[in-house]
């Protein structure tokens, strides 16, 4: 069972003590990401995440930072999203102090050497090039751009080559001081440790965390009134696309019904769209539907890659299935399978200390509320046929439809005409 504590300086701590594992994970989540950025500094959250590994006073180089955990077989990484940035270290429980010392050191004592900033700028630009060169990746950068346009929610997490090229050391330090504050930070300890001892260790290692009032995230503006389309011409054999709708944020009462709906459509190998595209027609290697719910945004999207000659056919099939699930009740057997899939997948995903840390930590950083797996199972189980149909009718409407694609098409008007349900 988890325990949540808040220190006097506003630092939040979640402890998940488990004697049935050899490992312990220290996960630090900071409430900042690309949705908190200004356009001219787009990508700074991600850039800063990279720079924390470039040296501290105690470990003055990338190799020194890496070697500290490498020499004990530790697993460590970091990640940036629209709403949060995370850092973790997973080690054998005998190295618990080392993990805490390492994570606190890179976050509280970074050097941000000018020489390393220039080198990492090149690394990040190559990362951006990698996404751009891969149509399957690039279409998923176009998708939020299509939904949210020229505002933080629509900008790429990694930034653009132009914006990354202009971010200075002073910009990074200012962003660090503005966002990496005690009230903006959550520390999650998961694995084989003593709870009381773990709390005391966090107080010790994070005692020097900066205190202050964090910058607020600007609101996301949504004003779609008709079907929208965004495409990028590329001489490829396949067309990679995202076809979906605006949906619900994390706090919406129908969020779990939306997740079940997504699974029925394309969340499993035996889902409707997978069966049609792979088993019946053989026109796609990959196709799946995803549901994403964030604190202020949400969508359901079907992502696939097909031969360019089958692109129009693929759009029509998916829209037909969207319409069908809006008009016809999902059979009880299919509904039960989707709910059991979600519950089983969640249960299996929580086998490790790092997975548990993420499960509980992300709920707290994004919602300020933590549900146990059992509580989530109950919410999933309550979803009924009527809920699925109501959600489908609500989201599968022309004024919420969006299509982004990368492929050998120089104009999109013919596909725009298809976007109707």
List, for the chain, all residue ranges whose pLDDT scores fall below the cut of 70: none
Radius of gyration (Cα) for the chain, nearest Å?
23
Give me the pLDDT at residue 271, please. 98
Whether residue 44 contacts residue 177, with contact meaning beta carbons closer than 8 Å, is answered with no
Q: Phi-psi region for residue 55, left (φ > 0), alpha (ψ -120 to 50) or beta? A: left
Give me the pLDDT at residue 1, please. 87
CA–CA separation, 305 and 136 (whole Å): 7
> Which structural domains are found in the chain, ordered by start?
3-205 (3.30.830.10), 228-416 (3.30.830.10)
What is the DSSP annotation of 161-203?
HHHHHH--HHHHHHHHHHH--GGGEEEEEEESS-HHHHHHHHH
Whether residue 152 contacts residue 221, with contact meaning beta carbons closer than 8 Å, is answered with no
User: In 3D, which of 159, 182, 163 has the Cα closest to residue 12?
Assistant: 182
Question: Between the CA atoms of 228, 230, 236 and 237, what dihedral angle is there, to the nearest 10 degrees?
Answer: 0
Whether residue 313 contacts residue 321, with contact meaning beta carbons closer than 8 Å, is answered with no
Tally of CB atoms within 10 A around 81: 18
Query: pLDDT of 195-229, one tens digit each?
Result: 999 999 999 999 999 999 999 999 999 999 999 99
What's the distance, Cα to Cα, between the start and end of the chain in Å?
Answer: 46
Query: pLDDT of 270-320, one tens digit each?
Result: 999 999 999 999 999 999 999 999 999 999 999 999 999 999 999 999 999
CA–CA separation, 280 and 274 (whole Å): 9
- HSE of 178, CA atoms in CB hemisphere, 13 A: 16
pTM of the model: 0.96
Whether residue 202 contacts residue 74, with contact meaning beta carbons closer than 8 Å, is answered with no
- HSE of 253, CA atoms in CB hemisphere, 13 A: 3
What is the DSSP annotation of 282-348?
--EEEEEEEEEE-SS-EEEEEEEEEEGGGHHHHHHHHHHHHHHHHHSPPPHHHHHHHHHHHHHHHHH
Whether residue 306 contacts residue 233, with contact meaning beta carbons closer than 8 Å, is answered with no
3-state secondary structure of 81: coil
């Amino acid at each position: 069972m988890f325990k949540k504590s808040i220190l006097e300086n506003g630092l939040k701590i979640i402890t998940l003590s488990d004697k049935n594992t050899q490992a312990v994970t220290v996960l630090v989540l900071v409430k900042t990401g690309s949705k908190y950025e200004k356009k001219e500094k787009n990508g700074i959250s991600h850039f800063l995440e990279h720079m924390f590994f470039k040296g501290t006073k105690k470990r003055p180089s990338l190799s020194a930072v890496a070697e500290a955990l490498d020499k004990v077989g530790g697993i460590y990484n970091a990640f940036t999203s629209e709403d949060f940035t995370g850092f973790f270290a997973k080690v054998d429980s005998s190295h618990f102090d080392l993990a805490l010392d390492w994570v606190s050191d890179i976050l509280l004592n970074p050097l941000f050497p000018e020489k390393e900033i220039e080198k990492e700028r090149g690394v990040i630009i190559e990362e951006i090039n990698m996404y751009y060169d891969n149509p399957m990746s690039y279409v998923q950068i176009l998708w939020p751009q299509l939904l949210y346009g020229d505002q933080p929610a629509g900008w790429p997490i990694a930034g653009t080559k132009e914006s990354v090229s202009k971010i200075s050391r002073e910009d990074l330090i200012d962003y660090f001081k503005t966002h990496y504050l005690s009230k903006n930070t959550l520390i999650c300890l998961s694995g084989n440790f003593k709870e009381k001892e773990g709390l005391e260790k966090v107080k010790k290692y994070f005692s020097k965390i900066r205190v202050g009032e964090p910058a607020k995230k600007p609101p996301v503006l949504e004003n779609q009134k008709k079907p929208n389309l965004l495409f990028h011409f590329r001489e490829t054999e396949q067309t990679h696309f995202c076809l979906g709708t605006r949906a619900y944020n994390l706090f919406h009462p129908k969020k779990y019904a939306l997740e079940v709906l997504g699974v029925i459509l394309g969340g499993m190998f035996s889902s409707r769209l997978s069966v049609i595209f792979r088993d019946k027609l053989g026109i796609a290697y990959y196709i799946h539907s995803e549901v994403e719910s964030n604190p202020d945004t949400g969508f359901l999207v079907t992502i696939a890659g097909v031969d360019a000659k089958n692109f129009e056919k693929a759009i029509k099939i998916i829209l037909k299935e969207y319409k069908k699930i809006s008009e016809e009740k999902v059979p009880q057997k299919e509904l039960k399978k989707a709910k059991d899939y979600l519950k089983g997948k969640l249960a299996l995903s929580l086998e490790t200390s790092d997975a548990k840390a993420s499960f509980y930590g992300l709920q707290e950083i994004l919602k300020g509320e933590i549900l146990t797996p059992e509580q989530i199972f109950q919410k999933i189980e309550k979803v009924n046929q009527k809920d699925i149909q109501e959600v489908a009718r609500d989201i599968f409407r022309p004024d919420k439809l969006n299509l982004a694609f990368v492929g050998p098409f120089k104009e999109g008007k013919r596909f725009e005409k298809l976007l109707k349900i």
